[in-house]
Structure 1
Amino acid sequence: MTSLLVLNGPNLNMLGIRQPDVYGRTTLPEIEAMCREHANAREVALEIIQSNHEGALIDQIHAAHGAYDGIILNAGAYTHTSIAIMDAVASANVPTIELHLSNIHAREAFRHTSYLSKVAVGQICGFGAHGYVLAIDALIAHINEAKAP
């Protein structure tokens, strides 16, 4: 069975409260429930973790090596600042999709820089909570293509 890790970074625990005009009114528990339902329908095992701490996210990325077939990573602001998270993704050698609720390319200039995009298999941004569903499907397709002879 395919297994995926969904990692949510800083401030995502505040979804539904934090800037709903930018991030929507859907809470993180609602997103998690949506992801679990979608993954279950596709017979995919799913682990979901949120942390506001860079080191904790790095530890989870390292631990994903050999434990998960893929990672969906919404690193929040660490996307634009953390070379350490980029290096963790590169060293773990687990296919990773970079995910953002908002369209980072249509926002402030500093959000246009993504260290993760250099090591991710792809980026999904701007689709709100539905982006998680898109990321699950995209990662399953990527994993299946990689397994094909």
Structure 2
Amino acid sequence: MLGQRVIHVLNGPNLDLLGVREPHIYGDRTLADVETACLRELDGSGVGLIFRQTNAEHEMIAWLHQARVGAVGIVINPAAFSYAGYPVLDALKMCDCPIIEVHISNIHQREEEWRSRSIMTRSVTAMLSGMGVDGYALAVRHLLQIDCRNSRSQAA
């Protein structure tokens, strides 16, 4: 992917168990299904995909540092980092591209009140919450539209 324009899709803790973990909340589709849907959105666009998941905060920070400059955009599901991942928040603030925060469930309707307060919203361009895993592909599509508009305005 070196030199190629890319969208980074970054997933936080426990999303490696998507499809198995609490399917009544998160559904039965896996991260592999999500990656396939994102690739489908990018088909023919000339934009590549870097798709990752980690349970380690330091790894997420390193990936954000890699995406910091020059990415078409970042789609991030910070998962549990949403509530206390201040180092992740600081890394997001350093990024020069559009960032879309995605949550599979509607975090504002969850029983635990703390789940409704993502600290990441302070540094993201937009948030999708409660659209299931379809939110990822919609986020990728939106980043492509932003990139296309920016490319046209730079060419004019």
TM over 0.5: yes
Residue 132 of structure 1 is aligned with which of 113, 136, 151? 136
- Aligned pairs for 1:54-65 (under 5 A) are 54-65=57-68
Distance in 1, matches of 2:114 and 2:147, equals: 31
Partner of 2:113: 109
The number of aligned residues is 149
Q: Quote the offset at 1:9 in angstroms.
A: 0.7
Q: Which runs of 5+ in 1 are unaligned?
A: none
Which one is further off, 42-51 or 80-89?
42-51
Counterpart contact for 2:5–2:70, Cα < 8 Å: no
Partner of 1:12: 15
Distance in 2, matches of 1:96 and 1:80, equals: 17
Rg (Cα) greater in structure = 2
- Aligned pairs for 1:62-77 (under 5 A) are 62-77=65-80
CA displacement, residues 71-93 of structure 1 (integer Å, 9 cap, x when unaligned): 00001011111111111000122
Residue 46 in 1 paired to residue 55 in 2? no
Compare the two structures and name the one with the higher helix fraction: 1
Overall identity of the aligned pairs, in %:
34
Distance in 1, matches of 2:47 and 2:64, equals: 19
Moved over 6 A (4+): none
Q: Quote the offset at 1:65 in angstroms.
A: 2.1
CA displacement, residues 26-58 of structure 1 (integer Å, 9 cap, x when unaligned): 011111112112212443211101111011000
Counterpart contact for 2:70–2:97, Cα < 8 Å: no
Q: Quote the offset at 1:126 in angstroms.
A: 0.6
Q: Give the TM-score normalised by structure 1.
A: 0.92
Q: Give the TM-score normalised by structure 2.
A: 0.88
Q: Which runs of 5+ in 2 are unaligned?
A: none
Partner of 1:80: 83
